[in-house]
Chain A
Amino acid sequence: MQRMSKKLLLKNANVPGIRQYDVYRREGGYVGVEKALKMQPEAIVEEVKKSGLRGRGGAGFPTGMKWSFLAKPEGVPRYLVCNADESEPGTFKDRYLMEFIPHLLIEGMIIASYALGSNNSYIYIRGEYDWVADILQEAIAEAKQNGWLGKNIQGSGFDCEMYVQRGAGAYICGEETALLESLEGKRGNPRIKPPFPAIKGLWGCPTVVNNVETIAAVVPIINEGGEAYAQIGVGKSTGTKLISACGNINKPGVYEIDMTISVEEFIYSDEYCGGIPNGKRLKACIPGGSSVPILPANLLLTTAKGEKRMMNYESLSDGGFASGSMMGSGGFIVLDEDQCIVRHTYTLARFYRHESCGQCSPCREGTGWMEKILLNIEKGKGKISDIDLLWDIQRKIEGNTICPLGDAAAWPVAAAIRHFRDEFEWHVNNPDKCLTENYGLRHYADAIHVPA
Chain B
Amino acid sequence: MITFSKDKLDQVAEIISHYPEGKQKSALLPVLHIAQNEFGGWLDVPVMDYVASLLKLEPIEVYEVASFYSMYNLKPVGKHVFEVCQTGPCMLNGSDDIIDYIKQKLNIGVGETTTDGLFTLKTVECLGACGYAPMMQLGKTYREHLTKEKVDAIVEECTQISLTP
Contacts and interface: CB of A to CB of B under 8 A. Distances in A.
Interface of B: 18-20, 23, 25-30, 32-33, 55, 57, 61, 64-65, 68-72, 86-89, 91-93, 124-133, 137, 140-142
Contacts of A61: none
Given A188-B68, A245-B131, A89 B88 contact: yes
Interface in A317-347: 331, 333, 335, 339, 343-344, 347
A347 B68 contact: no
Contacts of A89: 87-89, 125-126, 130
Nearest to A348: B88
B137 to A, nearest CB: 6
A47 interface: no
B141 A168 contact: no
Nearest to B65: A187
Interface string A245-274: 111100011100000000000000000000
B141 to A, nearest CB: 7
Contacts of A247: 89, 92-93, 130
A344 B71 contact: no
A344 B91 contact: yes
A141 B16 CA distance: 18
B115 to A, nearest CB: 27
Given A130-B140, A203-B23, A246-B133, A168 B72 contact: yes
B75 to A, nearest CB: 15
Contacts of B18: 120, 122, 161, 163, 165
Given A89-B88, A89-B89, A333-B88, A350 B131 contact: no
Contacts of B26: 165, 183-185
Given A89-B130, A252-B132, A165 B91 contact: no
Nearest to B72: A168
Given A167-B29, A333-B92, A347-B91, A244 B130 contact: yes
A95 B128 contact: yes
Contacts of A252: 130-133
Interface SS majority for chain A: mixed
A233 interface: no
Interface in A151-181: 161, 163, 165-171
Nearest to B18: A163
A88 B126 CA distance: 7
Nearest to A94: B128
Contacts of A306: none
A168 B73 CA distance: 11
Contacts of A344: 88, 91-92
A92 B32 contact: no
A122 B27 CA distance: 13
Interface residues of A, number: 57
Nearest to A251: B131
Interface string A126-160: 11111100000000000000000000000000000
A254 B68 contact: no
15 contacts: A89-B89, A90-B126, A92-B129, A95-B128, A129-B128, A168-B70, A170-B68, A171-B126, A185-B25, A186-B65, A187-B64, A347-B91, A350-B87, A350-B125, A357-B68
B65 A91 contact: no
B20 A77 contact: yes
B86 A168 contact: no
Interface in A347-387: 347-348, 350-351, 354-355, 357
B89 A333 contact: yes
Given A248-B92, A351-B87, A127 B131 contact: no
B73 to A, nearest CB: 11
A87 interface: yes
Nearest to A124: B29
A-B pairs with the 9 shortest C-beta distances? A168-B69, A185-B28, A169-B70, A252-B131, A169-B71, A185-B25, A246-B130, A187-B68, A89-B126
Nearest to B131: A252
Contacts of A423: none
A252 B92 CA distance: 13
B126 A246 contact: no
Contacts of A163: 18
Contacts of B140: 130-131
A86 interface: yes
Contacts of A167: 29, 69
A300 B150 CA distance: 35
A90 B86 contact: no
A285 B150 CA distance: 29
Contacts of B142: 128
Nearest to B133: A246
B71 A168 contact: yes
A70 to B, nearest CB: 18
Contacts of A92: 128-132
Contacts of B125: 89, 171, 350-351, 354-355
